[in-house]
Amino acid sequence: MLFAALALGISMPSHAQDLSGRWRLEILNAKREVVTTFTVRFTRDQAQSCLALVNPKTREDLKWRKLKIEAMSTTESTFYPVTDPLAYGIEEGTLTIGNVEFCDGYALLEGGLAVQPVHGRYFTLGVAGSVDRGSFKLSKVE
């Protein structure tokens, strides 16, 4: 769950979902039309971020991990920041993916990992608040 722009609680617990292999990430608009599709791999490499991560329970500083993009296609390049580096984090079974390297104007995907494929919401977050933009679907390819 997203707590606040500067206190987003994301960790990588040892019992986390297996995210090895290749994944297909589809981002849909409010009309449920697929606008952007990525083929990605989840890495353990730490990502740079302007968005501070703090575990709300322990107050421990946490890190984002890099999402490696292998392929991408889009019908509308301004709908989702397709050229930005992406990162991910997992906190209590919730996956968050986003463009967190640049300050403000985050495009975030958030959904539970309990059921495959993963479904969730796409929203933007900035100093003016949060705006729902659509949804996403994440499916394992191999």
Residue 35, domain member (yes or no): yes
- Residues pairing with 76 in the sheet: none
127, two tokens: 């100093």
- Is the pTM above the cut of 0.85? no
Give the count of domains, the chain. Answer: 1
Amino acid letter, 140 = K
Q: What is the pLDDT along the chain (142 residues), one digit of tens a residue?
A: 443 333 333 333 333 478 999 999 999 999 999 999 999 999 999 998 877 656 666 767 667 899 999 999 999 989 998 888 999 988 878 899 999 887 778 899 999 999 999 999 999 988 888 999 999 999 999 7
Residue 7, domain member (yes or no): no
Domain that holds residue 136: 22-140
**Residues 6 or more apart in contact with residue 12 via CB below 8 angstroms:** 62, 65, 89, 90
Handedness of CA 58, 42, 133, 121 (dihedral sign): negative
Specify the residue for token string 């996403």.
Answer: 136
